[in-house]
Amino acid sequence: MTSIEFSYSLNQLSGVLKPFALKLTRDLDDANDLLQDTMVKAYTNQDKFADGTNLKAWLYTIMKNTFITNYQKMVRRATFVDTTENLHYINSSGALIENSVYGDFTLEDIYEAINRLDEVFSTPFMLYYRGFKYHEIAERLSIPIGTVKNRIHIARKYLKEDLIVYKHVN
């Protein structure tokens, strides 16, 4: 493939790559940057592209790897490392004072609201809350997975409405 053909193919595929970049970054500006980085890497590594291979897949791989590398750099930059010698207060629970009354009060209200739910909605909701996956709940209750998702959604909706009303009353 000549350099002109390669450039033309890259330009044609840039429109296909943009939605993938948006999916990865969830931000238009970051997606444009990722797309640009991908194109630059593709141009600079044109000699590594073998004729007859899938150019689109090659570009997707470059984009995914670029995104992962950039994400790892960002995480490393945001990591705080304490180099001081006095680590006395780190992880020291003795310095913390908790007010559990407010937390217990809220949790009590939530459980009361769950108990007011119809069992058809509360059972799948509580199973999901305890960590079961949708398909596990569906198998356990012998109902379709769509029904499980719907009942959990309705339970959340009722709980939200119930707790908002309770908050305004008290």
**170 residues of the chain, pLDDT tens digit each:** 788 988 899 899 999 999 999 999 999 999 999 999 999 999 999 999 988 889 999 999 999 999 999 888 888 877 666 566 655 555 555 555 555 545 544 677 778 888 888 999 999 998 988 888 999 999 999 999 999 999 999 998 888 887 776 655 55
Q: Which fold has domain 3-79?
A: Rna Polymerase Sigma Factor; Chain: A (1.10.1740)
The domain locations on the chain are 3-79, 100-166
CA dist., res. 138 & res. 63, Å (int): 37
- pLDDT on residue 85: 63
Q: What pLDDT sits at residue 91?
A: 53
Residue type, 19: P
Residues 25 and 34: their CA atoms lie apart, in Å, by: 8
- Please say whether the structural domain 100-166 has been given the CATH code 3.20.20.60: no
**Phi, psi for residue 21 in degrees, rounded to 5:** -65, -40
pTM of the model: 0.47
